[in-house]
Structure 1
Amino acid sequence: MVLYGTIVNGICIIAGSILGLFFTKIPERYKTTVMHGIGLAVILIGLQMAFSTEVIIVVLLSMLSGAIIGEFFDVEEKLNRLGTWVGSKFASADDHSGIAQGFVTASLIFGIGAMSTLGALDSGLRGDHEVLLTKSVLDGFVGLVLTTTFGIGVMFSVIPVVLYEGSIALLATQIEKWVPESLLNGLIVELTAVGGLIILAIGLNILKVTEIRIGNLLPAIVTVGFIYYIYQLV
């Protein structure tokens, strides 16, 4: 079943988030320290992914073009509006911003990264769900911790995550017909590096070191494909 890994990932996010709702009374200092730990771990993951690049100019141009497109369409604001709309259906007006923050933060942490992309590709190309199953365990735990801070908004991140991974897995079943294996392997490396920089930005925001508009960098995940293809033609 092509979507097996994706479905398990979604279930684990929901389960972790539900468990997290029972631990919202944890003292604030515990939450703060735990979030600092998560932030540092996210930074490490982002750095490891970013350093995988083999063509730094592709990563640079992807981030620049992605940022321009993201600012033009104001992706960050639209994501926040979506999170606020979701929150308005399940919480009082005072809680909307918190739910929106939880939705956006969790969606980015769970959805952007090597494990999401590579895991979904493995599911589609080879029917191997090991990467996504491993990610599911990690996401369940992280979802639990995030929910103690951000609340129920974390649970709704399952929607974009499942759509993202599921779409890649289904597309991967057909992608070999259109994309040569050598090109696909190189693209995955640069896509991982671009995702790593965005993950790094998430970690810095979690630590409140920066206030990077991460949503406005997301188009880089798409532009890297076009830029890498052009690079291969030059």
Structure 2
Amino acid sequence: MALLGTLVNGVCIVAGSMIGLFFSKIPERYKETVMHGIGLAVILIGMQMALSTEAIIVVLLSLLTGAVIGELLHLEEGLNKLGEWLGNKFSSADDDSRVAQGFVTASLVFVIGAMSVVGALDGGLRDNHEVLITKGVIDGFVALVLTTTLGFGVLFSVVPVFLYQGTIALLATQIERWIPEQVLNGMIVELTAVGGLIIVAIGLNLLNITKIRVGNLLPSIVTVGLVYAVYLLF
């Protein structure tokens, strides 16, 4: 079932939001420790994925080309500016804007990220939902925290999450019609490895060890297909 991971992700967001409605304030030390535990788990999953590579040169070149494209397009900066603009736009409205702000803020947090893309592709291509289920746990805790400060608008972010990740997963199920199975299997291995390293970067950021611009690495998910095609020619 290609949409299983997306459904679990959505349920976790709803559950986290509902629980968050019952808390006015969560002690900072609890939030910090929980997020550190999640960060460690994310790193483990990312490393397991990264170690699956059969051609490290493909992974390296994909990350390099993707990083260059991301930096040229200023993806990370653009995403941050979009979030700030939307937040300022809604926060200047009337009291009902609190709901809109919660919705927009949570949607950006949950939708924008490597785990959304990699997890949805993994679910559609290999029926493997581990990444999206892990993302769902993370999103559930984040939704809980956001709801305590932004209100029930966070709950509605489940709609764009489902539409975005569900669309990617369903499209991924049709890729086999266009690409030979042997080539596709090899590309999936390298895509998994590249995505794994990006997920490791997310984990390191969650632990506050680094401040890697993960958004600028997202093009690597696309360039890995091109790099792998060239790799097969040689």
Structure-1 separation of matches of 2:7 and 2:188:
23
- Asked if 1:107 is matched to 2:106, the reply is no
Structure 1 stretch 75-84 or stretch 37-46: which is displaced more? 75-84
Aligned residue for 1:26, secondary structure, equals: coil
Question: Conserved in 1, the CA contact under 8 Å of 2:205 and 2:211?
Answer: yes
- Asked if 1:18 is matched to 2:23, the reply is no
Is the alpha carbon distance of 1:20 and 1:111 closer, same or farther for their aligned partners in structure 2, counting shifts above 3 Å? farther
* CA offsets 1:44-73 (integer angstroms, 9 cap, x no match): 111111111110000000000000000000
Is the alpha carbon distance of 1:8 and 1:90 closer, same or farther for their aligned partners in structure 2, counting shifts above 3 Å? farther
Question: Conserved in 2, the CA contact under 8 Å of 1:42 and 1:203?
Answer: yes
Residue type of the alignment partner of 1:103: L
Structure-2 separation of matches of 1:224 and 1:109:
14
Residue type of the alignment partner of 2:180: P
Question: Conserved in 2, the CA contact under 8 Å of 1:76 and 1:216?
Answer: yes
Question: Conserved in 2, the CA contact under 8 Å of 1:42 and 1:202?
Answer: yes
Question: Conserved in 1, the CA contact under 8 Å of 2:115 and 2:132?
Answer: no
Structure 2: which 5+ runs fail to align? none
Question: Conserved in 1, the CA contact under 8 Å of 2:107 and 2:160?
Answer: no
Structure-2-length-normalised TM-score = 0.78
Aligned residue for 1:188, secondary structure, equals: helix
Aligned residue for 2:210, secondary structure, equals: coil
Structure-2 separation of matches of 1:55 and 1:28:
43
Structure-1 separation of matches of 2:186 and 2:141:
35
Where do 1:13-162 residues align within 5 Å?
13-22=12-21, 23=23, 25-88=25-88, 91=91, 103-104=108-109, 107-108=112-113, 110-113=115-118, 115-122=119-126, 131-132=128-129, 138-151=134-147, 156=157, 159=160, 162=163
- Which residue in the other structure is 1:204 paired with? 204
Is the alpha carbon distance of 1:140 and 1:71 closer, same or farther for their aligned partners in structure 2, counting shifts above 3 Å? closer
Is the alpha carbon distance of 1:157 and 1:79 closer, same or farther for their aligned partners in structure 2, counting shifts above 3 Å? farther
Q: Aligned pair count? A: 220
Aligned residue for 1:176, secondary structure, equals: helix
Identical residues among aligned pairs (%)? 48
- Which residue in the other structure is 1:182 paired with? 182
Residue type of the alignment partner of 1:60: L
Aligned residue for 2:112, secondary structure, equals: helix
Structure-1 separation of matches of 2:112 and 2:19:
16
Is the alpha carbon distance of 1:154 and 1:231 closer, same or farther for their aligned partners in structure 2, counting shifts above 3 Å? farther
Aligned residue for 2:177, secondary structure, equals: coil
Structure-1-length-normalised TM-score = 0.78
Structure 1: which 5+ runs fail to align? 123-127
Shift of 1:165: 4.0
Is the alpha carbon distance of 1:92 and 1:149 closer, same or farther for their aligned partners in structure 2, counting shifts above 3 Å? farther
- Which residue in the other structure is 1:125 paired with? none
Is the alpha carbon distance of 1:215 and 1:68 closer, same or farther for their aligned partners in structure 2, counting shifts above 3 Å? same
Residue type of the alignment partner of 1:223: T
Structure-2 separation of matches of 1:141 and 1:118:
17
